[in-house]
Amino acid sequence: MSYYITTPIYYPNSSPHIGTAYTTIAADAIARLQRMRGQEVHFLTGTDENSQKIIRTADGLGINPLEYVDGIVEKFRGLWQLCDVRYDDFIRTTEERHAAVVQRVFQQLHDQGDIYKAEYEGWYCTPCETFWPEKKIVEGQCPNEWCRHEVEWMKEESYFFRLSKYQERLLAHIEAHPDFIRPVSRRNEMTRFISGGLEDLCVSRTTFQWGIKVPFDPKHVVYVWLDALINYISALGYPDGELFRKFWPADVHLMGKDIVRFHAVIWPIILLALGVPLPRRIYGHGWFVDREGGKISKSRGNVQDAFDLLKRYGSDAIRYFLLREMQSGADGTYSEDDMVTRINVDLANDLGNFVSRALAMTERYRGGIVPAAGAPGAREEEISALAAEVWRGVEMKLLACDPAGALEELWRFVARMNKYVDESAPWTLAKDPAERENLDRVLYTCAEAVRVLGVFCAPFMPGVPERLRPLLGGEARLELWADGQWGLLAPGTRVQKGAPLFPRIDLSQFEAEANTAADTAEPPAERAGALGGQAKEMISLEEFAKIDLRVARVLKAEKVPKTDKLLRLEVDLAGETRVVVSGIAGHYEPEALIGRKVVLVANLQPAKLRGIVSQGMILAAAAGDDLEVLMVNAAEPGAEVR
Ligand code: MSP
């Protein structure tokens, strides 16, 4: 089966940013999923170069527009490469293959009477490349609330496209195809807009020469939106190219909400007039906005350089954040702080931590060799059924252009696996030779879940299966969607824990706090041990009440390199993750602490120990020369200790 997905073609008047990257990454995730499902995919992106604003920018810089555009186009291509975007074709509207199709379409529409010549008089917004009727203009400004740029008065001879003629046919199509415009809110908005009455559209300009010439009247250049929309078929070699025959109609045109109107009105009417089938779906997602709700855009100056961000966090983490943060139909908020939190919570803790726990246990208890699963118990049956259910959910949501919903679904499985490790307590099973088979079953289930997660993550974060492959012995099946089936990991596979999949990022404010704390502070639990039986001065109840003691669950534990006594713990405090450095390495194997619930002094000033900011202290009792960490059973993380 063939599958054709497109992104808008971007104006190369400035470098791409996080906001423009979203659509391309979302389309890439869908394209990857479809390839994994064995579909023959054509994924198209590109640049919209015949825009008036390009000449203005280039003129402003005193350089030739094409030269200017060439440089920016390279940036787009470079960014997509860094983001692991694997498109099949990149179209530039300055290419001859595109111009030829635009001219052909213009000629045909003119020949059949759908394009006619008249005089245009009205307002034009160059940043939006949109004609506006007088009644919409407010104080000489573009009515788009995100633009508000000054509009210009235009009076020139132009060609017009008879949109009005196709109004009823378009409405009937929308009515008959509920999936044509999505999500539903945009569909309703478009139905209202079209029912309000379509005016014929001015489709040529004479006051500048940059663009594609009207073939039979070359002092006119084709209106940039008419030109741009045609890219979706010119790239396929319309009308008789092999790709056109194979891939048209498009399965999805993905885009931001601001340009749905062009795709839901002008584009289908061009196709109706040409007698070409309409695309199956036009999906308009929200925008990335800043914390004040303003659209992330170059002109607002609230963008961070996408290349810098990629260097700092890597493609998988950026892709994850963008795809996870834009809820279906709504806007997503972008801030670097939010991104770091997501990376730490979802990727470093939930996913990364499960992967290292799973593989470390096999290393530790079975010398790195995955044991045979044995007969599944009730929990394992439930887990394999959940994997299949999650897998169907991910597929359904992603194909419906809802990557955030798909990732939410996927994380149900990640959460279940973390819980499974806690419930089955392999460190306890390991102590009892009679539990050997039970431990084998748990170890297999965990290792297999790592593999399955590698497959599930692949469309969203293509680097994850790549990085898991060597940890799973190099031979594990991680490529096709069918690889997501439960039970394909061969017993006997040699696994290794490796480096963390997503190293935790320390938020800068902790660094700032930490700079005020001494770097030489004594490890807290060592102090506990050194207390001996010495009494301290009496304190009042009020003084005691100042100490915030809480239950926290250990998510991760590892030795601090080059020390004998220190462990670096990551603990969960009712959803918040803290890093705590504790002087108990001489008394506990890190693995034995994972999943255990300890008592944390939660309001202790952060202190830096061996370069690590410790955000609290866990309580331990001196037992002779030994130390016993205080642990609780029933209380949940976050519970107060009084
Ligand atoms: N050239 C036209 C599209 C022609 S398609 C035939 C265009 N280009 S654009 O570069 O201005 O915008 C391209 C896409 O980027 C749009 O879908 C727009 O919604 C999207 N985004 C631009 N800023 C964005 C955010 N801050 N957030 C999400 N998407 C954003 O329009």
Give residue 305's identity as a one-letter amino acid code. D
Query: Mean of the pLDDT values across residues 536-543?
Result: 70
Q: CA 357, CA 365: separation in Å to the nearest integer?
A: 12
Confirm or reject: Cβ of 19 under 6 Å from ligand 1. yes
- 554 Cβ inside 6 Å of ligand 1: no
Ligand 1 pocket member 256 (CB < 6 A): yes
- How large is the average pLDDT for residues 315-336? 94
pLDDT tens-digit readout, 347-377: 999 999 999 999 999 999 999 999 999 999 9
pLDDT for residue 85: 98
SS percent in the chain: helix, strand, coil, step 5: 45, 20, 35
Please name the residue whose Cα sits nearest to atom 12 of ligand 1.
10
Q: What is the pLDDT of residue 519?
A: 40
Best of 255, 290, 292, 318 for a ligand 1 pocket test (most atoms within 8 Å of beta carbon): 255
Q: Two tokens at 457?
A: 């993550």
End-to-end Cα spacing for the chain: 63
Neighbours of 634 (CB within 10 A): 7
CA pair distance 403, 394, nearest whole angstrom: 8
CA nearest to 589, candidates 567, 573, 619: 567
Span 6-24, mean pLDDT? 92
Task: Tell me the per-residue pLDDT of 54-70, one tens digit each, with 9 for 90 and over.
Answer: 888 888 888 888 889 99
Residue minimizing CA distance to atom 19 of ligand 1? 256
Protein residue closest via CA to atom 28 of ligand 1: 287
**368 alpha carbon to ligand 1 midpoint, in Å?**
48
Least confident range of 261-265, 380-384, 405-409, 562-566: 562-566
Ligand 1, residue 17: give the atom nearest the CA: 23
**What pLDDT, on the 0 to 100 scale, is given for residue 520?**
37
Q: Are 290 and 19 in contact (CB under 8 A)?
A: no
Q: Residue of the nearest CA to atom 7 in ligand 1?
A: 10
Report the CATH number of the 94-163+199-227 domain. Answer: 2.170.220
Q: Which atom of ligand 1 has the smallest separation from the CA of 10?
A: 10
Alpha-carbon distance of 404 to 327, in angstroms, equals 6
Residue nearest atom 9 in ligand 1 by C-alpha distance: 10
Res. 175: pLDDT tops 90: yes
Is the shortest distance between the CB of 302 and ligand 1 below 6 Å? Answer: no
Read off the pLDDT of residues 498-530 as tens digits, 9 standing for 90 and up.
999 999 998 654 344 444 443 434 444 433 333
For the four alpha carbons of 337, 339, 342 and 347, in that order, the dihedral sign comes to: negative
Please indicate, yes or no, whether the overall pTM of this predicted structure exceeds 0.75: yes
Pocket test for ligand 1, best of 7, 15, 23, 260 (most atoms within 8 A of CB): 23
Q: What CATH number is given for 507-632 in this structure?
A: 2.40.50.140
* Buried-exposed string 122-137: b where 16+ CB fall within 10 A, e elsewhere: bbbbbbbbbbbeeeee
pLDDT bucket at 289, cuts 50 / 70 / 90: very high
Task: Determine the average pLDDT of the residues in 376-384.
Answer: 97
Contact 283 CB / ligand 1 (< 6 Å): no
331 lines ligand 1 (CB under 6 A): no
**Above 80 in pLDDT, residue 608?**
no
147: pLDDT confidence band, cut at 50, 70 and 90?
confident
Residue 526: CB atoms within 10 A of its CB come to 16
Percentage of residues in the chain having pLDDT higher than 90: 69
**How far is ligand 1, taken at its centre, from the CA of residue 450, in Å?**
36
With 70 as the cut, is the pLDDT of residue 573 above it? yes
pLDDT at residue 133 in the model: 82
Average the pLDDT over 547-569 and give the result. 90
What mean pLDDT do residues 178-192 have? 97
Confidence tier at 203 by pLDDT (50, 70, 90): very high
Given pLDDT bands bounded at 50, 70 and 90, which one contains residue 537?
Answer: low
Q: For the segment 455-483, what is each residue's pLDDT rounded down to a tens digit?
A: 999 999 999 999 999 999 999 999 999 99
Virtual torsion, Cα 448, 451, 452, 457, nearest 10 deg:
150
> Which atom of ligand 1 is nearest the CA belonging to 229?
6
> Is 250's C-beta closer than 6 angstroms to any atom of ligand 1?
no
Q: Which residues of 588-610 are buried (b: 16+ CB within 10 A; e: fewer)?
A: bebbbbbbbbbbbbbeeebbbbe
Residue 317 has pLDDT above 90, yes or no: yes
Q: Which of 328, 250, 323, 319 is nearest to 285 (CA)?
A: 328
Domain ranges in the chain are 94-163+199-227, 335-472, 507-632
Query: Each residue of 86-129: pLDDT tens digit?
Result: 999 999 999 999 999 999 999 999 999 999 999 888 899 988 88
* DSSP code, position 240: T
Options 1.20.1600.10, 3.60.15.10, 3.20.20.70, 1.10.730.10; which CATH number does 335-472 get? 1.10.730.10
Report the atom number in ligand 1 closest to the C-alpha of 48: 1
Q: Which atom of ligand 1 is nearest to the CA of 8?
A: 5
Where residue 158 falls among pLDDT bands split at 50, 70, 90?
A: very high
- Determine the residue type at 561: P
**pLDDT for position 508:** 56
The span from the CA of 463 to the CA of 454, in Å, is 9
Query: What is the Cα–Cα distance from 207 to 157, expressed in whole angstroms?
Result: 10
What pLDDT shows up at residue 510?
39
Q: Tell me what pLDDT residue 292 has.
A: 81
pLDDT in tens, 116-125: 999 888 899 9
Higher pLDDT, 19 or 109: 109
Q: Is it the case that residue 209 has pLDDT exceeding 70?
A: yes
pLDDT, tens only, 384-440:
999 999 999 999 999 999 999 999 999 999 999 999 999 999 999 999 999 999 999
Q: Name the percent of the chain lying above pLDDT 70.
A: 95
Q: Which two tokens stand for residue 54?
A: 């390009």
What pLDDT sits at residue 536?
Answer: 63
Question: 288 CB less than 6 Å from ligand 1?
Answer: yes
- Average pLDDT taken over every residue of the chain: 91
State the DSSP string of 159-225.
Answer: EEE-TGGGHHHHHHHHHH-TTSEESHHHHHHHHHHHHT-PPPEE-EE-S---SPBPTT-TTSEE-HH
DSSP 491: T
What's the CA-to-centroid distance between 539 and ligand 1, angstroms? Answer: 63
Give the amino acid at 187: R
